[in-house]
Structure 1
């Protein structure tokens, strides 16, 4: 009877041992996504050195999910005081000094122990492209002073350079689709999936000196100069992208005033239909023609003073703005404007930067019909200078003066330039942010340079929770003790059996 009891104890111990083994096995296989432990973050800094201003964007992401999607968050955006870096052509040291307040702010955000590992970039766009065309030596001096200034900070500075127009457009497209998770998405089944191509959205960008349009066309892009080939998350994309230099808002409005002047060179007076009626200012010929985007007539004297008077005429304003675009296309060819090839616009588009701000000021960024947008712009353009100043007393004088011209230019660019119409207008979404991140080229630029968007679809790696490892270790220790007890019981059982036979 005693032998039977010991045998039963042995079988009981074996059963408990099996249960504990299964429990330990299940605990070890529990995926890490259920863990509640804090995640260590990495940081990245990107300067957007535009033609009119510079901004620093501070990004953060979990260090163990670099190949994931929708995981980069914007911690802060710092606007640099003063104009764009191209304006410091005659004071290159000033360009470097202007960045320091935002860098000081970044150093208070990025943990000290991580600063030296924080990738930092500066990308310059159309303003520096124009300066390089005018004087490449001055452009190099500006970059040298910027590199020197950033080099004084404990960051991993990876250089300053000028983006091409197509890069600017492509990185903006990557940013929008990355944030919308239309490139790749992690499904509830635990697998990476590629949303259908129809979910991809186009990107429309308007800066101070250039404008970009980028989208996935319905057919193969005929002109290789407007084609960008990307491989993202294991999928190839052939996107259409083009950047129009000199058609950013600041340069376009300068071209507008110059064209009005050239319409009557014998006069020292310029009637401007896009400026509010009763508005008046003086400008020298040198100021008007100080850009490579605007060609001065041979007969003009740089010191000549011109008087610009607003007439507040929305019809004449629209006609004058449309003359900036050459919308004729060659035979059997579709184009945007100025003879540049462009396939028909297709799908949804996100419009940001100047396109958003120009319409946001007039509360026109919501889902509204094109006729409503036209009517609102027409009403504002028909206002007097006295009326708009009373309505917007705190608004910057230059911004208020240019509102009619800028909003009219936005419409003409989208309709006459990019060939949107009544049917496709509702497909344009005017946004400043997506998923609480400012939309622009900077995020796509950083994602590309840090290889955070792999060329192949990432494999799902299941980690283990620290708590699960501890629990499994305890269970394994208990199992070892039970094994020892089981062996002891077995030995005792054999000895007792031997005694009984004697």
Structure 2
């Protein structure tokens, strides 16, 4: 009787095991899904060697890219201590040494195994353009020293060079429109797409030694020297861009008073100091600048007690020059003034030429095809795991039953 009971339990367990085995088999075979592994990130470094200061920007993008162009994000920005590299004309080695603290910081951020494949660039703007015109030998010495310093680090250094004014303006245009999502946008369908019915914006830049204007005209550009072409995220862009050397803030004010040293986006900083970057009318801006410029020195110092004296001294001239450039130079009027948006950052990312430069360069960096694996959906994997656990319990139980049917000598009980 006991033997028959053990045998019945054994056969029942075997039957259940068979059913569970078939269920696991079907789960594994019918629910297999081909999936892409997460793509690794790539990194890039761009030095913005401006006329008054230098900054290093660290960028990152997924290696698979979108329509040939990377979806680039800013990881970190590091301001180099001291003046721009053009100021080291008589001390070229100092220019190279000044870059090292920011390079050290970059090496802490970029994974060690990816450092040697990280493309690294140094782009110099109007300050070095002027130095090259004044003394090309000294300009080359400065470039040699900064190149030497960067080459000491385990990165893929691709050279230091002077950007043309048109390059500076057009790369800045890319940055602005990329950050404002007029070039590419992540859609509700969870994929990157070219935005429909979205107009691209023009870009104005006031630097220390030059000023740039870039926009997409509605008519063909006759002068090819002011025309640039880009293909970004599968879309073609023909732009008008022009740079005015020596019309930057520092160079322009040198004609009027002592040198004025400001950060990159002079259009923003000059008017932001007087709280004029929040969409005020042109009349309001003119009235505020006029009021400031007619105030006594004692009143100005009392209103801005913590501000540096040289900045206060130059604010009237700097803001007046900004207003003159926009109204008389670029011909903005009371109607079109409201179309200007003064910004320093968009989505916590610095507005400048370096991001646009990196975006455009990703077109020339080979894309990596994501590795693919075959696997189960999470729900099916969980179900299969539970069933396998039950099967193991039943197998253990069945072995226990079989063992119990044996006597110590190995014979079945009668």
Query: Which TM-score band applies after superposition, normalised by the shorter structure?
Result: 0.7 to 0.9
Corresponding residue for residue 119 of structure 2: 119
Aligned length in residues: 371
Corresponding residue for residue 61 of structure 1: 61
Q: Spell out, residue by residue over 1:212-238, the C-alpha distance to the aligned partner (whole angstroms, 9 max, x if none).
A: 010111211222211111222222211
Counterpart-to-counterpart distance in 2, 1:207 and 1:138: 22
Counterpart-to-counterpart distance in 2, 1:214 and 1:123: 19
Corresponding residue for residue 110 of structure 2: 110
Corresponding residue for residue 248 of structure 1: 248
1:195-210 equivalences under 5 Å are: 195-196=195-196, 198-210=198-210
Deviates more, 1:463-472 or 1:111-120: 463-472
Q: Spell out, residue by residue over 1:344-392, the C-alpha distance to the aligned partner (whole angstroms, 9 max, x if none).
A: xxxxxxxx81111111111111121111111211111112222222322
Counterpart-to-counterpart distance in 2, 1:187 and 1:47: 32
Q: 1:23 to 1:366 in 2, by over 3 A?
A: farther
Counterpart-to-counterpart distance in 1, 2:112 and 2:269: 36
Contact 2:69-2:233 at 8 Å conserved across structures: no
Q: Spell out, residue by residue over 1:93-151, the C-alpha distance to the aligned partner (whole angstroms, 9 max, x if none).
A: 11111112222222222233322222211100001111111111110000001111111
Shift of the alpha carbon at 1:211? Answer: 0.4
Corresponding residue for residue 490 of structure 1: none
RMSD: 3.6
Contact 2:165-2:242 at 8 Å conserved across structures: yes
Find the residue that maps to 2:256 and give its secondary structure.
helix
Shift of the alpha carbon at 1:69? Answer: 7.6
Corresponding residue for residue 264 of structure 1: none
TM-score by length of 1: 0.66
Counterpart-to-counterpart distance in 1, 2:48 and 2:111: 22
Corresponding residue for residue 24 of structure 1: 31
Counterpart-to-counterpart distance in 1, 2:67 and 2:376: 25
Q: 1:402 to 1:467 in 2, by over 3 A?
A: farther
Q: 1:467 to 1:164 in 2, by over 3 A?
A: farther
Matched, 1:379 2:295: no
Counterpart-to-counterpart distance in 1, 2:184 and 2:377: 30
Shift of the alpha carbon at 1:68? Answer: 8.2
TM-score by length of 2: 0.79
Counterpart-to-counterpart distance in 1, 2:47 and 2:374: 37
Counterpart-to-counterpart distance in 1, 2:113 and 2:328: 53
Structure 1: gaps (5+ residues)? 1-7, 258-282, 289-351, 480-502
Shift of the alpha carbon at 1:461? Answer: 7.7
Q: 1:464 to 1:432 in 2, by over 3 A?
A: farther
Contact 1:59-1:76 at 8 Å conserved across structures: yes
Q: 1:157 to 1:145 in 2, by over 3 A?
A: same
Contact 1:204-1:212 at 8 Å conserved across structures: yes
Q: 1:179 to 1:389 in 2, by over 3 A?
A: same
1:326-475 equivalences under 5 Å are: 353-451=265-363, 468=377
Find the residue that maps to 1:389 and give its secondary structure.
helix
Q: Spell out, residue by residue over 1:442-487, the C-alpha distance to the aligned partner (whole angstroms, 9 max, x if none).
A: 0111222232799xxx9998966866499679969x99xxxxxxxx
Counterpart-to-counterpart distance in 1, 2:330 and 2:168: 17
Counterpart-to-counterpart distance in 2, 1:121 and 1:466: 41
